């Protein structure tokens, strides 16, 4: 029995009729770029996040970039974020003209360590982008407090945290803006590319709306230099269908994580993820840590069990960011994560039998090597 890292097909099969009907409606109304199906999704997604506004854009990278641009960040500004994230977080900072400044992460949550933020703040710092990595929110109270003290914006990278909660508040709703990706493999995934920014700030929402549509206030009247970062109508319609299932899918992921935690509890060589008391973790990724990570992945692959690594090289050590001048040892916790983490198969439809097989494979491997 194969255990894939992710299986999008089994979910599609379960909602096929709703999805196909939604796509057909968009085609019949020819509402392909932006339009009513995007607006309908925006309304529902804002409500889901507990914010006043949601603005649909082309993808999660667009969402981060548009939020930074709309807040006027660029030039010589600096933006603080964590180095163990997907490249897009840093790229958005670079492409608004600002400089990414990294801060190491907490060893238990893998999220930015609030105790280390203040020493990275300079007179040029304009914003902090906490990444809610793997679906567990960063320690937002501590981060918001530091931001208030230094007059910084907080933009949440909630691209892995659709529906995650921090002290009962939804990810994306706590900073000035929350940025989401609906890349197909995310907890709420489109059938193509899509993203959104959520906010309670009317002016910011208005600016991002304008920015995503060439800075137009009305057709062919451009009040700012913008971009084409619109969401597809078909993606809007598909996301509206899938949003209705998201709570149930997130609950299934949480159940799967619980079973993994139980089955791996007595495996000394494996560190399972820790859910903080303040958090509702939605396990976009279920990552464990172990010393001989690469050998474990190969051994499992030989048994047709497929894992991932998120992420093998932290951003500060990527060739693309060599010019920032960081080196090996700059962020020891992030580097340790990159060396030791394995992402086990995780999706809502993963069965208990499959989870048992993964854990059995891990135990067999440990028995012969340790």
Ligand X SMILES: *Cc1c(COP(=O)(O)O)cnc(C)c1O
* Contacts to ligand X by CB under 6 A: 59-61, 85-86, 88-89, 131, 157, 159-160, 181, 183, 195
Instruction: Return the SS3 of 84.
Output: coil
Start-end of H helices in the chain: 8-29, 36-49, 60-70, 87-95, 114-117, 140-150, 202-211, 233-243, 246-264, 293-302, 332-340, 352-369
Q: Which residue has the tokens 């603005």?
A: 55
- Least spacing, CB of residue 187 vs ligand X, in Å: 10
Distance CA(167)–CA(155), nearest Å, equals 18
Contacts of 286 (CB under 8 A, 6+ apart): 134, 253, 256, 257, 260, 273, 343, 344, 345, 346
Instruction: Name the minimum Å distance from CB 194 to ligand X.
Output: 7
DSSP letter for each residue of 16-70: HHHHHHHHHHHHHHT--BSSHHHHHHHHHHHHHHT-SEEEEESSHHHHHHHHHHH
Neighbours of 224 (CB within 10 A): 13
Task: Report the C-alpha gap between 234 and 232 in whole angstroms.
Answer: 5
- We find the least distance from the C-beta atom of residue 295 to ligand X, in angstroms, to be 27
Pick between residue 11 and residue 89 the one whose CB is nearest to ligand X.
89
d(CA 109, CA 132): 9
> Considering the complex, what minimum distance in angstroms separates the CB of residue 119 from ligand X?
24
Distances in Å between the Cα of 329 and the Cα atoms of 110, 118, 317, 325, 339 are 17, 20, 10, 12, 13
Judged by beta carbon, residue 181 or residue 199, the one nearer ligand X is: 181
**Residue (62 or 335) nearer to ligand X, CB:** 62
- Judged by beta carbon, residue 178 or residue 361, the one nearer ligand X is 178
* Nearest residue (CB) to ligand X, 81 versus 200: 81
- C-beta of residue 183 within 8 angstroms of C-beta of residue 165: no
Cβ proximity to ligand X: between 137 and 195 the closer is: 195
Pair of tokens at residue 261: 């935690």
| Nearest one of 70, 56, 67 to 230, comparing CA atoms | 56
CB of 158 to ligand X, least distance (A): 8
Nearest to 135 by CA among 310, 353, 330: 310
Min CB(360)–ligand X separation in Å:
30
- Closest to ligand X by CB, 170 or 357: 170
For residues 85 and 290, which CB has a smaller minimum distance to ligand X in the complex?
85
Interatomic CA distance for residues 101 and 171, integer angstroms = 22
Nearest-approach distance from CB 132 to ligand X, in angstroms: 8
Residue nearest to ligand X (CB): 60
- Distances from the Cα of 274 to the Cαs of 110, 307, 325, in angstroms? 10, 19, 32
Judged by beta carbon, residue 91 or residue 269, the one nearer ligand X is 91
- Measured from the CB of residue 290, what is the shortest distance to ligand X in angstroms? 22
3-state secondary structure of 131: strand
Least separation in angstroms between residue 60's CB and ligand X is: 2
Which 8-state DSSP code applies to residue 79?
Answer: E
Q: Between 70 and 355, whose beta carbon lies closer to ligand X?
A: 70
Smallest gap from Cβ 149 to ligand X, in A, equals 26
């Amino acid at each position: 029995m194969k255990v894939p890292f992710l299986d999008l097909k089994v979910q599609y099969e379960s909602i096929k009729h709703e999805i196909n009907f939604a796509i057909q409606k968009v085609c019949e109304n020819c509402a392909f770029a932006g339009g009513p199906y995007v607006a309908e999704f925006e309304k529902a997604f804002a409500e889901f996040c507990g914010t006043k506004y949601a603005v649909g854009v082309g993808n999660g990278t667009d969402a981060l970039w548009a939020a930074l641009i709309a807040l006027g960040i660029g030039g010589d500004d600096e933006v603080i974020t964590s180095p163990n994230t997907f490249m897009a977080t840093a790229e958005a900072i670079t492409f608004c003209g600002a400089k990414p400044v990294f801060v190491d992460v907490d060893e238990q949550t893998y999220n930015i360590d609030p105790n280390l933020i203040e020493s990275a703040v300079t007179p040029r710092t304009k914003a902090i982008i906490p990444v809610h990595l793997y679906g567990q929110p960063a320690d937002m109270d501590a981060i918001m407090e530091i931001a208030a003290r230094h007059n910084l914006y907080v933009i949440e990278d909630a691209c892995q945290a659709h529906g995650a909660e921090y002290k009962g508040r939804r990810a994306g709703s706590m900073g000035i803006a929350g940025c989401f990706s609906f890349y197909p493999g995310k907890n709420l995934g489109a059938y193509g590319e899509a993203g959104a920014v959520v906010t309670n700030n009317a002016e910011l929402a208005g600016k991002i709306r304008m920015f995503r549509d060439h800075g137009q206030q009305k057709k062919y009247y451009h009040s700012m230099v913008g971009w084409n970062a619109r969401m597809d109508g078909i993606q809007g319609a598909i996301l509206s269908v899938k949003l209705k299932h998201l709570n149930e899918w997130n609950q299934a992921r949480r159940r799967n994580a619980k079973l993994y935690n139980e089955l791996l509890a007595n495996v000394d060589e494996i560190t399972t993820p820790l859910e903080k008391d303040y958090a509702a973790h939605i396990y976009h990724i279920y990552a464990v840590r172990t010393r001989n990570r690469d050998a474990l992945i190969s051994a499992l692959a030989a048994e047709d069990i497929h894992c991932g690594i998120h992420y093998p090289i932290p951003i500060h050590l990527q060739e693309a960011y060599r010019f920032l001048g960081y080196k090996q040892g700059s962020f020891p916790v992030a580097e340790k994560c990159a060396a030791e983490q394995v992402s086990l198969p995780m999706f809502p439809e993963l069965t208990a039998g499959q989870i048992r097989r993964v854990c059995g494979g891990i135990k067999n491997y440990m028995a012969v090597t340790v």
